[in-house]
Amino acid sequence: MSQSNNRICTDRDMRSVHSRFSKLLWQDLSYDHTFGDREQDLVNTLIPGDLPDTLCWADINYADEERSGWDAARHYTRIERTLCAHGKARLREDAEYRKKMIAALRYWVLHDFKNPNWWHNEIGMPRTLSDIVVMMEEFLPDDLLAAAIQLISRGSMKCHPNMIRWTGANLIWGINNTIKHALLIDDDALMTTAVTRALDEMKYDVEGIQEDGAFCQHGRRWYSGGYGGAFTYDVSILIHILQDSRWQFPEDKVQIFLQHVLDGQRVMSKNGYFDYCGVGREYARQGNVYRTNLHRGVSLLSRTEGIPRAEELAAFDRENHHGATVCEDPSSDKTVFYSSIQLLCHRKNGSYIGVKGHNDKLYDQELCNGEGELAYNMSYGTHTCLARRGDEYFNLSPVMDFAHIPGTTARVENDEQIHAHRNWWSLPLPNDHAGGLSDGGCGILYEKPEHDGISALVSFFTYDGCLVSLGADIRDEHPERGPMTTTVDQCRARNTQIDRSARPRHVSNGEWCYFNLDDETEFQIEVGEKIGSWRRNNHAVPDAPVKDDVFMVCIPTDLSHPRFAYMAVPRESEGGGVSILRNDGQCQAIVATRKSGKKTLMAVFHTDASLTLPDGKEFKGERGRCLILPV
């Protein structure tokens, strides 16, 4: 085996970055150290390839052309997983194992498999292949190293000048690939070009980081938990490996990035589980809501010397490893209204409440590469996420009834009917009446969703870990298309207890209790095992049956009484600590009795109108005005 590729960079900073990155890979930041025997089995199941000195796996379809879950890509991800699981010492000391790993790499490099989706060829493949080559570099024959670097160069700015115009996570993936390419070919100028472009992305723009800490990708579309998680992971790697070099990130750029991580992602998650509404089309992928790439990025940042906001990062890192339990962390108790994406996040008393609104400047959810096929009812706002453990919606996509997205008022439709809504994701849906307010403890979000001939005026109020939702002026231009319903919640069934009266007023499930606050409407409750598949909402995966216990509570719509009112409170709470002052097409308002015993008025004005306050005084509000006042 030639050793000529085992070169030493002549530049001190290049040597430092190369060393940090290699060490990072071998420390296995990318994968858990919990593989057990399966990676050994992967080594043992390698079979001879169709070319000399190559090995492959019989269970991989190398001719697959699926745009999302590309089966052929399992070849290089298996190599990386195997290397991480067995460590560098075995690669150095076990000649037979080393020979197999080199033969497996040679199989991919010589065949140079490609996918119809550009992402795999220009981001995904170079991303993982460059990791493998950095890890195996000193053990590779010169010819294989050169051929592998040629493939890696497809994901580099050196061979892909258009990359400079990319944005968000796609850009940072490309930057990371470029930096690894620069390390492998010892190109100082390429390194500088890549880092300079990465720093340019640490700014506020339509795509990427927003001034309030939110993150958007593919237009003004909330993706803090999807592309934003990948963005966090890769930028964290850059900050870590470039420290103490001439390319290190200046503090002002790090501070902008940390707004995304700590003022955005931390607020939008619970115990390591992200708000399922904020992962975009990735909700159609298994493991979707538990954002391991985000966790690893936060963990790496928390261990980076001299990082700003270090205590907050350490606290976020601890939260991500709590597991699915009910726990409180007063350091993260806050309520934030993200005006950039019409999102209300409320973290109080062990609860996470997320309410996603919509306006005509936003895109919501996404249908792409066969993923998100059933996400229509998450495209026009008012969908909610109620979490106390964190895993309430984890891996629920296969069995979810997508006509009943929590928080929405929608038509009751089956998968085929929902799937027929094909044009919803490419353009913002109409809505010129939306907004919100937060005082740090209480929060309000309101909007007038309009879709499929349906419209309503809806307001959400949060306080002390509780949610109150009011709906009024519900209309349907096409009642012949079927009934409508407002979904209070749909999540995993756990320890469900139902009020058995003729007209159930409340129901408990998991860590929540739900109360119907309108005497003219009734709860409709379903609980039991559902059977579905991931393929319902993701054409890139097998159609294997999936079973899970699902809880759903909704309020059927009666247009003769076009309103609703409900609340969700932590199960251990007594509940009922709210009175409705008004719920109509002009104003929606409540008075909440707080845990402290004090009372707070929260109100939204849909038109210029007057509201009689508890003390008898009149308050005149204009359209779109929100109020949070002690009373």
Segments making up each domain of the chain, as ranges: 1-199, 202-323, 333-574
Three-class SS state of 119: helix
Task: Indicate the helix (H) or strand (E) that contains 601.
Answer: strand 599-605
Averaged pLDDT score across all residues of the chain: 92
Greater confidence (7 vs 548) lies with: 548
Question: Quick check: 463 and 442 in contact, CB under 8 A?
Answer: yes
Which range is least confidently modeled, 37-46, 103-112, 581-590?
37-46
For residue range 260-318, list pLDDT tens digits in order: 999 999 999 999 999 999 999 999 999 889 988 999 999 999 999 999 999 999 999 99
Greater confidence (2 vs 54) lies with: 54
The per-residue pLDDT for 2 is: 35
Which of 463, 445, 482, 466 has its CA nearest to residue 559?
Answer: 482
Question: Quick check: 296 and 30 in contact, CB under 8 A?
Answer: yes
Which range is least confidently modeled, 34-48, 138-152, 153-167, 505-519?
34-48
Which range is least confidently modeled, 19-33, 323-337, 438-452, 477-491?
19-33
The per-residue pLDDT for 574 is: 59
The CA-atom distances, in angstroms, between 209 and each of 168, 178, 257 are 8, 22, 7
Which of 329, 341, 333 has its CA nearest to residue 277?
Answer: 341
For 538, which DSSP code? B
**Six-digit token string for 337:** 């209204």
> What confidence tier does 322 reach under pLDDT thresholds 50, 70, 90?
confident
> What confidence tier does 421 reach under pLDDT thresholds 50, 70, 90?
confident
**Rounded distance between C-alpha atoms, residue 233 and residue 114, angstroms:** 26
For residue range 212-267, list pLDDT tens digits in order: 999 999 999 999 999 999 999 999 999 999 999 999 999 999 999 999 999 999 99
Task: Indicate the helix (H) or strand (E) that contains 314.
Answer: helix 310-319
Query: Positive or negative CA dihedral for 259, 260, 264, 270?
Result: negative
CA max distance for the chain: 89
Residue 539, pLDDT above cutoff 80: yes
The neighbour count for residue 416, using CB atoms within 10 Å, is 7
The per-residue pLDDT for 573 is: 77
**Rounded distance between C-alpha atoms, residue 622 and residue 508, angstroms:** 38
Topology alike, domains 1-199 and 333-574: no
Residue 33, pLDDT above cutoff 60: no
| Mean pLDDT in residue range 401-413 | 98
| Mean pLDDT in residue range 60-67 | 94
| Mean pLDDT in residue range 172-184 | 95
Residue 35, pLDDT above cutoff 80: no
Amino acid at 544: A
In CATH, the number for domain 333-574 is 2.70.98.10
In CATH, the number for domain 1-199 is 1.50.10.100
> What confidence tier does 34 reach under pLDDT thresholds 50, 70, 90?
very low
Greater confidence (598 vs 431) lies with: 598
In CATH, the number for domain 202-323 is 1.50.10.100
Which range is least confidently modeled, 25-34, 277-286, 570-579?
25-34
| Mean pLDDT in residue range 586-612 | 96
Which of 313, 334, 373 has its CA nearest to residue 533?
Answer: 373
The per-residue pLDDT for 288 is: 84
Three-class SS state of 188: helix
Question: Quick check: 161 and 153 in contact, CB under 8 A?
Answer: no
The per-residue pLDDT for 431 is: 83
For 371, which DSSP code? B
Return the ∠ at Cα 319 (arms to 210 and 259), rounded to 5°.
Answer: 20
The per-residue pLDDT for 8 is: 53
| Mean pLDDT in residue range 491-520 | 92
Burial class (CB in 10 A: 0-12, 13-18, 19+), 39: middle
pLDDT over 70 percentage in the chain: 96
The per-residue pLDDT for 38 is: 59
Three-class SS state of 463: strand
pTM of the complete model: 0.92
Order of all β-strands in the sheet with 334-338: 334-338, 343-348, 351-356, 383-387
Three-class SS state of 483: coil
The per-residue pLDDT for 576 is: 57
**Rounded distance between C-alpha atoms, residue 523 and residue 515, angstroms:** 9
**Six-digit token string for 109:** 């490099």
Residue 195, pLDDT above cutoff 70: yes
Burial class (CB in 10 A: 0-12, 13-18, 19+), 607: middle
The residues pairing with 252 across neighbouring beta strands, listed in sequence order, are none
> What confidence tier does 400 reach under pLDDT thresholds 50, 70, 90?
very high
Residue 605, pLDDT above cutoff 60: yes
Greater confidence (370 vs 142) lies with: 142
Long-range contacts from 274-277, C-beta under 8 angstroms, 24+ separation: 274/224, 274/225, 274/229, 275/225, 275/345, 275/352, 275/354, 275/385, 275/387, 276/385, 276/393, 276/394, 276/396, 277/222, 277/354, 277/356, 277/378, 277/383, 277/384, 277/385
Query: Positive or negative CA dihedral for 283, 288, 291, 293?
Result: negative
Residue 39, pLDDT above cutoff 70: no
Question: Quick check: 403 and 412 in contact, CB under 8 A?
Answer: yes
**Rounded distance between C-alpha atoms, residue 162 and residue 144, angstroms:** 28
**Rounded distance between C-alpha atoms, residue 168 and residue 205, angstroms:** 10
The neighbour count for residue 125, using CB atoms within 10 Å, is 25
The neighbour count for residue 570, using CB atoms within 10 Å, is 19
> What confidence tier does 6 reach under pLDDT thresholds 50, 70, 90?
very low
Residue 496, pLDDT above cutoff 90: yes
Question: Quick check: 236 and 293 in contact, CB under 8 A?
Answer: no
